[in-house]
Amino acid sequence: MTTENLLIEIGTEELPPKSLRTLAEAFAANIKTELTALELENTDVTWYASPRRLGIKVANLVARQADKIVEKRGPAVKAAFDTDGNATKAAQGWARGCGIDVADAERYETEKGAWLLHKAKVAGKGVDALLPDAISKALAKLPISKPMRWGNSKIQFIRPVHTVTVMFGSNLIQGNILGKDIKNELQGHRFHHPERVSISHADEVESVLKSAYVIADYEERKALVRGQIESVAAKNNAVVAMDEALLEEVTSLVEWPVTLVATFEASFLDVPSEALIYTMKDDQKYFPLLDQDGNLLNKFLFVSNIESKNPEQVIKGNEKVVRPRLADAQFFFETDKKYTLESRLESLDTVLFQKQLGTLKDKSIRISELAAFIATKLGADETKAARAGLLSKTDLMTEMVMEFTDVQGVMGMHYARFDGEDELVAVAQNEQYMPRFSGDNLPSNEISQAVALADKFDSLVGIFGIGQAPKGDKDPFALRRAAIGALRIMVEKELELDILEIVAKSQELFTDKLTNENVAQDVFDFMLGRFRAWYQDQNIAVDVIQAVLARRPSYPVDFDRRVKAVSHFRSLDSAEALAAANKRVGNILAKNDLVIANKIDETLLSEDAEKALAETVLSFKAKFEQLGQGSYTNKLTQLADIRETVDTFFDNVMVMSDDEAVKLNRLALLNQLRNLFLDIADISVLQ
Amino acid sequence: MQNITQKHNTKTFQGLILALQEYWAEQGCVIAQPLDMQVGAGTFHPFTFLKSIGPEPMASAYVQPCRRPTDGRYGDNPNRLQHYYQFQVVIKPSPENIQQLYLDSLAVIGIDTLTDEVRFVEDNWESPTLGAWGLGWELWLNGMEISQFTYFQQVGGLECSPVTGEITYGLERLAMYIQGVDSIYDLIWTDGPLGTVTYGEIFHQNEVEQSTYNFEHADVPALFTEFDHCESESKKLIEANLPLPAYEQVMKASHAFNLLDARHAISVTERQRYILRVRALSKACAESYYAAREALGFPLCKDNSVTKKGA
C-alpha cells in the first residue's frame, strides 16, 4: 500500500498564546482518534503551532482504507424458501438489498440452523474522500473555552480562519473546512512576508514557512528563544531566572523571534525587586536580568517578532513603556514608606473580610491570638507570632499592593523591615501565604508557620461557621487550598499540632459570630477529606487511606505516620491474610452483640491454638505498651509475624462454643487481637 | 493612501485625526461626528452600541471625546486625563481583511511595521453595563498599547449576527508616540500659519477644573436623584417604544454613576447593584431597538435576506 506524509494547517488570526499548546496538542490527539476510527494506518501524528496557525503532520499515512469483506446475514433458510423451494419475498427483498440473486447467496450454518449470507466486498475509500470530514470533526472537538463568530458567517472557531491547507504528499486534498476552500497556500509572517506562500509537498512545510519568516516548529522556536535569551544575557554579563511559563507564552506570541536588550534608570532599583519584576513580567512579558549573585539589574530582555530595520527604535519604544510603570512602583513605594504598617491597622476596619465575620481588622486580631496560641504549642516565641499576625494584612492597604495585588505579603516583608520590626516578624509577612500553589515552598520557621496556619484556620472555621462550606466549583474563599496548605505545613514540617485543638481555639476567638453548631466537626471532616485527595495525588492506595481514616487521627503528623506504616505493611506477604483475619474478627464481633470482657481469662483456654494465640496477643500487648504511642511501622511489621498463629487458631478452634463462658472468653481474645491492629489503623479494609 | 500621508501632517494631533478620517472614509465608512453627550467610551455612541444590533450592515468612523471622572489628575499626571479622545471604527459585517485595513491605517499615519513592532495581544473585551462582550486583541506598538480590536459577540444581551468589528484608537497615546513626547500636554495640536498650539494650551485648565469638580464639587444627592430619574425615564420611554431617547437616559445614568464613583459615594457592594441596574436598562433598549428595526423591515438590509433574531 502506498503511503505519504500528510500536512494539515489551519491559518488564523492571532491565537490566544496561553492556550496555544493545549489547542495544538488536542488537535493532534483528535486527528489521531479520527484516523484510527477510519482505520487509516500511519506511523506518527505530530503538531506544530505559531500565533497564526495550528498544524498537524501525519507520517506515512496510507492512501486508502483496506478493502473489507462485510458479512450480511439474511433470513433463515427455513424462511427463505417456500415448500416448493422458491425464494420467499423476504429472501428476495434481502437479496435485492445486497445487489445479488437469492441463488448466489451463501449459507451461514450454526447448531440452531442455517441463514442466508452474503459476503460483500467493500472497497476502502481514499484519504481524499475521508480527510475533509475527519479534519472538520477533529476541529469541532477542540477544547475552545470561548468560540467566536466573525463577519457574516455562522462558523465558530477560536479566531477567524483565513487559510486551510491539506497536502497528502504532493496532492492537494479538495474540500471545504471551517468555511474555507482547501488550498495549497499558507500565511507567511504578518510583516516580513505579507503575501501567502504556496506549497507543493507536505514535507516542504518547514522550509517553505522558514522562507516566509515563520519558524513553524514550536519546540524549535522555543529552543531558539531560550538560546537567544541566554546568549544575550551572557553578552550583558547577566543571567536570566528562566520562567518556563513566560517562555512558553512568548514562544506562542512570535513567529520570527529576535531578542533585544533594554535598560531603565538604575535609580528604580531602590524599589523592592519583586514589584519591578512583577511589572516587567506580567504586564509586558519581559525577562528581567540579574547579576551573577542574583540581584536585579537595570536591564531586561524582550522578544520581538520582527527583524527591525532599526532595532534601536523598538528598544527605545519599549523603554518608554516600562518607565512610567516603574515610576508608578517607585512612587507607591516612597509614598507607602511614610506610614508604618502598624498605623494602617485602623484602616483595615473599613475593609470587609466577610459580612458576618467582620472586617480585616477583626480578622487580624484573631490571627494574632491564634498564631500566639499555635506558637506556644510549638514552643516558639508567642509575642513575635502575635505581632506578625497582627500586621499580617496591613500591606493590603498600601498603594503598591492595591496596584499590584500579586506582591501582597512580600511587600509587607519589605515595609516591616523598613519599620524596624523583628526579622522573623518581617519574614512571616511574606511566608504567611505559603504554600501559594501546589508544590510551593512552605513557611521556613515556626513564627511564619504559626501565622500561616492561623490565617488558614481562621478562614476555614469562620466560613464553615456561617454555613458557607465550598460546594462544587464554588470555593470563593479558596478553602480547599487553605486546608491542603495547612495539612502540608503540619505534616512536612512535622509539627505536633492537633486540628481539633486549633479549631476549638479559633472558634472561641469568633465569640458569638458563628451560627453552625457543628463547625468543629465539619472543619475536621473537610480536612480529612483533603487528606484523602492529597494522598491519592501521591499515589497512596485508597484502601490505605481508608484504613487510617477509620481512626480519624486529629494530629496530621500522626495521620501521616500511620499512612506510612500501613503502606509499608500492605507490601508485606502476610498483609492479605491478616486483613482477611481482621475482617473476619470484625464480623464475628459485630454479629455477636455481647458485652465482651477487657481481659482474657487464661483458665478458660483449653486448646493449644487458642493458648498460643493468647500468649502471642498478650506479649505483643505488653511490648506495645512499652513502645508507647507511635512507632507504627515497627508495630505493624512485628504484627505481620502473627499470621500463622492466627491462621492456626481459626483452623482449629471453634469460636462459637456451646459453653457460653468459653465462647465469651474466645471473643474477648479476638477483641484484643483486633485492638492491637486498630490501635494503628483498620487493617480489615485493605484489599 | 500615499496621498493622505502627504496631505496631512500626522505629527500634529489634528493632522492625525484628519488622516484617519480620510483613510476610513476611503474604505467606505460614514464619517460621523462625536455624540453630543457625556460618555465613558466611543462604544456608547449609538452608532456603535445600537447599530451593532440586528442584521443591518453599517460602517462608521468618528472621534469620540470620553469622560472618565476617576482618571482625572488635576492636570498633574503626564499620562492620565479625565477627558480624552478615542477614534472609533465600526464595520458590520466585519470584513475579511479588517486586520489588514487597520495595519494600512497605521502606514497612513507614518508607522512602518518593519521598523516599529506592531503586535496583536489577546485581550477580550467585556462591558458589564452594556451587557456586551467580544473577542480580540489590544494592539501593541513597541510594547505600548495603542488600540483595541474587538469582534462583538453579544451586545445588550443579544447575539451579534452578523458580527461587528470594532477598532478603537487611543489618539493621545498614538500621537505621543508619533510626536515623540513624554507628556500629553506637550502634544502639538496644530502647527499652522497662525502658529503652534499645544494640547496643554487647549486642555490643561479644563483638566484642573474638571478634576476639581469631579472629585470635590459634584453634588452627590443630586446625582443619586438624577440616576433614579434617568432610570425611571428610560423605563417609561421603553414602554412608549422609543428606544433612542430611552438609550440617551441610559448614557446619562451611566455618567451620573461615574461621577458618584469619583466622589467615592458608592460602596463596593452597592457598586455591583448600580452596574446591574444600568445593564438592565441597556438590555431593554437593545431589545426595543431591535424590535423597532424589525417592525420597519430592517430597511438597510439591501438584499432583503433578513436574519432572524439571535440566529
**What CATH number is attached to the domain comprising B20?**
3.30.930.10
Question: Which of chain B's residues have a Cβ under 8 Å away from the Cβ of A320?
Answer: 142, 144, 182
Query: What does DSSP assign to residue A299?
Result: E
Radius of gyration in angstroms for the set of CA atoms belonging to chain B, rounded to a whole number: 20
Question: What region, left, alpha or beta, does residue A138 occupy, with left being phi > 0 and alpha being psi -120 to 50 degrees?
Answer: alpha
pLDDT confidence of residue B306: 46
Query: Which one-letter DSSP state was computed for residue A64?
Result: B
Q: Do residue A149 and residue B163 have CB atoms under 8 angstroms apart?
A: yes
Residue B109 lies in a domain: yes
Q: Are residues B187 and B258 part of one domain?
A: no
Does residue B311 surpass a pLDDT of 60?
A: no
Asked which of B154, B185, B204 is the last residue of a domain, the reply is B204
Tell me if B7 is assigned to some domain.
Answer: yes
pLDDT of residue B75: 92
A10, part of any domain: yes
Which residues contact residue B162 at a Cβ distance below 8 angstroms, ignoring those fewer than 6 apart?
A151, A152, B55, B57, B92, B93, B94, B307
Q: Are residues B51 and B176 in the same domain?
A: yes
Distance, in Å, from the CA atom of B146 to the CA atom of A320, rounded to the nearest integer, reads 13
Q: B178 with B229, same domain?
A: no
Tell me the residue type at A638.
Q
State the amino acid at position A98 in one-letter form: C
Examine residue A546 and state whether it is found in any structural domain, yes or no. no
- Ramachandran class of A541: left when φ > 0, alpha when ψ lies in -120 to 50, beta otherwise: beta
- Nearest beta carbon to residue A317 from set B143, B151, B161: B143
Domain boundary among B142, B174, B204: B204
* Mean pLDDT calculated for residue range B81-98: 97
Interchain proximity A314–B124, CB inside 8 Å: no
B94 contacts A191? CB cut-off 8 A: no
Same domain, B166 and B49: yes
Q: What range defines the domain where residue B146 resides? A: 2-204
Interface check B303 vs A, CB under 8 A: no
Kindly provide the ipTM of the predicted complex, given to two decimals: 0.93
A322 touches chain B (CB under 8 A): yes
A578, pLDDT greater than 70: yes
- Does residue A229 share a domain with residue A83? no
Mean pLDDT score of chain B, rounded to an integer?
93
pLDDT beyond 90 at A655: no
Over range A592-604, report the average pLDDT: 80
> What is the rounded end-to-end Cα distance, in angstroms, of chain A?
51
Residue A402, chain B, CB below 8 Å: the answer is no
Please tell me which residue of chain A has the smallest CA distance to B182.
A320
Same domain, B134 and B218: no
What's the mean pLDDT in B83-106? 97
Chain A (508-527) residues lying within 8 Å, Cβ to Cβ, of chain B: none
- Residue A358 scores a pLDDT above 60: yes
H/E element holding B84? Answer: strand B83-92
Per-residue pLDDT at A458 exceeds 60: yes
For B144, which of A146, A317, A352 is closest by C-beta distance? A317
Say which of B94, B116, B143 has its CB closest to residue A150.
B94
Q: Which residues in chain A have their CB less than 8 angstroms from residue B96's CB?
A: 151, 160, 162
Q: Do B144 and A321 touch (CB under 8 A)?
A: yes
Residues A319 and A429 in one domain: no
* Beta-carbon separation of A317 and B177 below 8 A: yes
Q: Are residues B141 and B223 in the same domain?
A: no
A307 and A439, same domain (yes or no): no
Out of A18, A148, A313, whose CB is closest to B116? Answer: A313
Verify that B184 and B222 share a domain, yes or no: no
Q: Which residues on B lie below 8 Å from A264 (Cβ)?
A: none
Is there a domain that residue B300 lies in? no
pLDDT greater than 50 at residue B260: yes
pLDDT confidence of residue A342:
96
Interchain contact, B122 vs A324, CB within 8 Å: no
Band of pLDDT at residue A641, cut at 50, 70 and 90: confident
DSSP secondary structure string for all residues of A367-387: HHHHHHHHHHHHTS-HHHHHH
Q: Is residue B236 part of a domain?
A: yes
Among A87, A122, A157, where does a domain finish?
A: A122
B119: which chain A residues are within 8 Å (Cβ-Cβ)?
A: 253, 305
Do A361 and A462 fall within a single domain?
yes
In a domain, A548, yes or no: no
A435 and A407 in a single domain? The answer is yes
Q: For residue A547, is it within any domain? A: no
B95 neighbourhood in chain A, CB within 8 Å: 151
Examine the fold and report which residue of B204, B230, B255 is the final residue of a domain before the chain moves on: B204
Determine the Cα–Cα distance for residues A686 and B270; give it in Å rounded to an integer: 55
**8 Å CB contact of A313 and B119:** no
Residue B47 within any structural domain of the chain? yes
B209 in any annotated domain:
no
- With 90 as the cut, is the pLDDT of residue A50 above it? yes
Give the mean pLDDT of chain A: 93
Q: What angle do CA A101, A104, A108 make, to 5 degrees?
A: 120
Instruction: For chain B, positions 122-161, list CB contacts with chain A under 8 A.
Output: 122, 124, 134-135, 137, 141-144, 151, 153, 160-161
Burial class for A221, CB neighbours closer than 10 Å (0-12, 13-18, 19+): buried
Does residue A308 sit at the B interface (CB-CB below 8 Å)? yes
Cα A621 to Cα A593: distance, rounded to the nearest angstrom: 24
In this predicted structure, the answer to whether residue A420 has a pLDDT above a threshold of 70 is: yes
pLDDT reported for residue A325 = 86
| Chains A–B, number of C-beta pairs less than 8 Å apart | 89
Q: How confident is the model at residue B310 (pLDDT cuts 50, 70, 90)?
A: very low
pLDDT of residue B228: 97
Based on the fold, state whether residues A23 and A58 are members of the same structural domain.
Answer: yes
Same domain, A283 and A329: yes
Residues B241/B288, Cβ–Cβ less than 8 Å: yes
Give residue B303's pLDDT: 63
Number of domains in chain A: 5
Provide the 8-state DSSP code for A353.
E
Asked whether residue B231 falls in the same domain as residue B189, the answer is no
Q: Is the pLDDT of residue B166 over 60?
A: yes
A318–chain B nearest CA distance, Å = 5
* 8 Å CB contact of A150 and B177: no
User: Domain for residue B248, yes or no?
Assistant: yes
- Give residue B307's pLDDT band: very low, low, confident or very high (50, 70, 90): very low
**Cell numbers placing A191:** 510583516
Nearest CA in chain A to B92: A151
Residue written as grid cell 505581632:
A387
The answer to whether residues B68 and B180 belong to one domain is yes
How far apart are the C-alpha atoms of B41 and B38, rounded to whole Å? Answer: 9
Residue B189, strand partner residues:
none
The answer to whether A136 touches A125, Cβ cutoff 8 Å, is: no
pLDDT score of A432 more than 50: yes
Which residues touch B99 (CB under 8 Å, ≥6 apart)? A13, B120, B149
Judge contact between A409 and A392, C-beta under 8 A. no
* Candidates B135, B138, B179, B182, partner chain A, best to mutate (most A CBs within 10 A): B135
A251-293 residue pLDDT tens:
999 999 999 999 999 999 999 998 899 889 988 899 999 999 9
| Interchain CB distance below 8 Å, B142 and A313 | yes
Ranges of H-type helices in B36-140: 46-49, 98-108
How many separate domains does chain B show? 2
Q: Nearest by CB to B99, which of A13, A304, A306?
A: A13
Residue A553 lies in a domain: no
pLDDT given for residue B268 in this prediction: 63
Q: Which of residues 55-84 of B touch A (CB under 8 A)?
A: 79
CATH of the domain at A579: 1.10.730.10
The residue range of the domain holding A265 is 219-336
- What percentage of chain A reaches a pLDDT higher than 90? 68
Whole-number Å distance between alpha carbons of A658 and A515:
55
DSSP B37: S
Evaluate whether residue B67 is within a structural domain.
Answer: yes
Is the Cβ pair A317, B119 closer than 8 Å? no
Question: Does A682 have pLDDT greater than 70?
Answer: yes
* Shortest alpha-carbon distance between residue B147 and chain A (Å): 15
| Residue numbers in B near A318 (CB within 8 A) | 142-143
B143–A305 CB contact, under 8 Å: no
Among all chains, which residue has been given the C-alpha cell 483595541?
B148
At which of A193, A211, A229 does a domain end?
A211
SS3 B158: strand
Interface contact A151-B93, CB threshold 8 A: yes
Check if the beta carbon of residue A323 is closer than 8 Å to that of residue B131.
no
Q: Please say which residue of A169, A184, A211 terminates a domain.
A: A211
Q: Cβ A284–B143 below 8 Å, yes or no?
A: yes
